[in-house]
Structure 1
Amino acid sequence: MKIYPIETGNFKLDGGAMFGVVPKTIWQKTNPADSNNLIDMSMRCMLIEDGNRLILIDTGLGSKQSDKFYGYYYLFGDFSLDDSLKKLGFHKDDITDVFLTHLHFDHCGGVIERNKEGLLVPAFKNAKVWSNDNHWKWATEPNPREKASFLKENINPIKESGQLNFIHRNAKDQIGFDVLFMDGHTEKQMLPKLTYKDKTIVFMADLLPTTGHIPLPYVMGYDTRPLLTIKEKEVFLNEAADNNYFLFLEHDANNEICTVQHTEKGVRLKNTHKFTDIF
């Protein structure tokens, strides 16, 4: 098995929304905001090369939305999914599986693209696309709070293409790694948990967007069940500290990997790393 970080692009989000009830005077120490109160975010995906399978975890925003849409998120930098794959010698057609942690647009937007005729088509034409039945129902019958994050043009064509598959509780038999299900951010978000070079890596998705979100009350305003997020974080971070897990950060623009440790104040950041320095 080989694992690679895949940078698909950077964007900005409102710092207050990203930290909920935590005051700016506190959260800006770890996530400094610009003059518009926006903080830098990444859309860092993961590529797993395992035998005959090439598995992509999440896809970033994609490129099919309007300039007006992208203008809301202040895209910056030179990263793209295509370029990141190309640097590793891969193409979208090589991907055998696309695993979507959840169906918010910044995680699944790249799975569907527009062709030259403007039609919505699969970006990964040879891949199975993995979600789960509970989250799929949640996303296709959205609540008012999340409706703007579940875009029909990202989601409906997946099923229409025939590529849609659902992860069940025997995830390792289906996709080759364990999956942790989390319900605080959205219904049945899925976090891949892998053993790689004798180390445990967990793809954090939106349970832990950045290292600045490690303290338990630091929960996004986007979460549908913030008190449940706090409980899920508490259980997971204690396990991660006990077992020296390496946490792969999807949204932290400055840190790819972190570890955590027990302190008198609870679980806190231990170290940050570049992926290549550890693996």
Structure 2
Amino acid sequence: MSKPLEVFTLVESMFALDGGAMFGIIPKPLWMRTNPADERNRIDLACRSMVVRYEDYDVLVDVGMGTRWNDKERDIYKIVGSTPEVKPLNVKHVILTHLHFDHAGGLSFLNDSNELQATFKDAKHWVQRANWGWAHTPSARDQGSYRPEELEIFEKGLAEIELIDGIAEILPGIEVLPMNGHTFGMQVVKVTTESGKVYAHLADLVPTTSHLRDPYVMGYDINPLDTVKEKREVLYEAAKSDWTLVFGHDPKTDMARVEMHDSVPKLVQA
């Protein structure tokens, strides 16, 4: 099988989260310069999927928020949009960076008869075994980020799940790199195309371009010091090897490259 022909991104939906939670220890006057908050202290975020196109099929990395939200939840998270761009794709594989609701919510939907359906019923779904286990038994600290209903399609046999153990090349040209700072078993998805260009979906390791520098770590991360270490390593390799980075939550920037200046990552045009 040949390597991917191209990589592009789609925004499944827009939503919002508390700015303080998104920037952890960083004071509000600093993060407000790049990510202004609304009257409820929320900042705008995207749910950005990466599409890896082969000759005969597509691979989708992350599926966004989906449609299974009530009016109260939609208001809390300021959800706008839901999967219109991904439906025409010829998706044969879905790679989940992790199973938090803003990355895995689009796995399923309810049809007109209120019956549960898999969004990509003919696709194989890939997730790290460590994250699969953690999603079933999360800590009290992060259990709100996982929703049991996201896993129903697998438990009911409506879709196929493939669990990955660590670093692996799961498809030609697609490698997964586990990270444990944000949550156990999250994975960065690295893609090398037929032409040799390298892309990496950073998921919540670097959710927006505002999170490039070391201390800019989310309050949601369960192991923030690990996030700092993992981020340094990935961004160093990305700068050294000229990767194009995909930012899963940045409201404006989908892809960019980075360069290191005195060990500080700087954004450059993709």
Q: CA deviation at 1:167?
A: 2.2
- Report the equivalent of 2:54: 50
**Mapping 1:85-164, distance limit 5 Å:** 85=86, 90-91=88-89, 94-161=90-157, 162-164=159-161
- Report the equivalent of 1:24: 28
For residues 258 and 27 of structure 1, the distance between their equivalents in structure 2, rounded to whole angstroms, comes to: 20
Which residue, out of 12, 15, 20, partners 1:11? 15
The answer to whether the 8 Å contact 1:6/1:81 transfers is no
Instruction: Classify 1:40/1:237 alpha carbon distance in 2 versus 1 (closer, same or farther; 3 Å).
Output: same
Q: Deviations over 1:133-161 (max 9, x none)?
A: 11111111111111111101111322322
TM-score between both structures, scaled by the size of structure 1: 0.89
Instruction: Point out 4+ residue stretches in structure 1 off by more than 6 angstroms.
Output: none
Q: Which secondary structure state, in structure 2, belongs to the residue aligned with residue 108 of structure 1? A: helix
Instruction: Classify 1:170/1:204 alpha carbon distance in 2 versus 1 (closer, same or farther; 3 Å).
Output: closer
What letter corresponds to residue 20 of structure 2 in structure 1?
A: G
For residues 38 and 269 of structure 2, the distance between their equivalents in structure 1, rounded to whole angstroms, comes to: 23
Q: CA deviation at 1:179?
A: 0.9
For residues 200 and 2 of structure 1, the distance between their equivalents in structure 2, rounded to whole angstroms, comes to: 10
For residues 245 and 179 of structure 2, the distance between their equivalents in structure 1, rounded to whole angstroms, comes to: 15
Which residue, out of 22, 33, 38, partners 1:34? 38
Identity among equivalent positions (%) equals 37
- Report the equivalent of 2:83: 81
- Report the equivalent of 2:210: 212
Q: Which secondary structure state, in structure 1, belongs to the residue aligned with residue 169 of structure 2? A: helix
What letter corresponds to residue 14 of structure 1 in structure 2?
A: D
For residues 247 and 28 of structure 2, the distance between their equivalents in structure 1, rounded to whole angstroms, comes to: 22
Uncovered stretches (5+) of structure 1, i.e. residues with no partner: 274-279
Instruction: Classify 1:109/1:156 alpha carbon distance in 2 versus 1 (closer, same or farther; 3 Å).
Output: same
Q: CA deviation at 1:193?
A: 0.5
TM-score between both structures, scaled by the size of structure 2: 0.92
Q: Which moved more, 1:95-104 or 1:175-184?
A: 175-184
Q: Which secondary structure state, in structure 2, belongs to the residue aligned with residue 81 of structure 1? A: coil
The answer to whether the 8 Å contact 1:112/1:123 transfers is yes
Instruction: Classify 1:272/1:39 alpha carbon distance in 2 versus 1 (closer, same or farther; 3 Å).
Output: farther
Q: CA deviation at 1:125?
A: 1.4
What letter corresponds to residue 181 of structure 1 in structure 2?
A: P
Which residue, out of 62, 66, 70, partners 1:66? 70
Q: Deviations over 1:44-90 (max 9, x none)?
A: 101112133321111010002211111111124xx5422x136xxx2
For residues 115 and 172 of structure 2, the distance between their equivalents in structure 1, rounded to whole angstroms, comes to: 30
Q: CA deviation at 1:261?
A: 1.6
Normalized per residue, which structure has more helix?
A: 1
For residues 113 and 267 of structure 2, the distance between their equivalents in structure 1, rounded to whole angstroms, comes to: 50
Aligned residues: 264
- Report the equivalent of 2:197: 199
What letter corresponds to residue 217 of structure 2 in structure 1?
A: V
For residues 155 and 27 of structure 1, the distance between their equivalents in structure 2, rounded to whole angstroms, comes to: 34
The answer to whether the 8 Å contact 1:201/1:248 transfers is yes
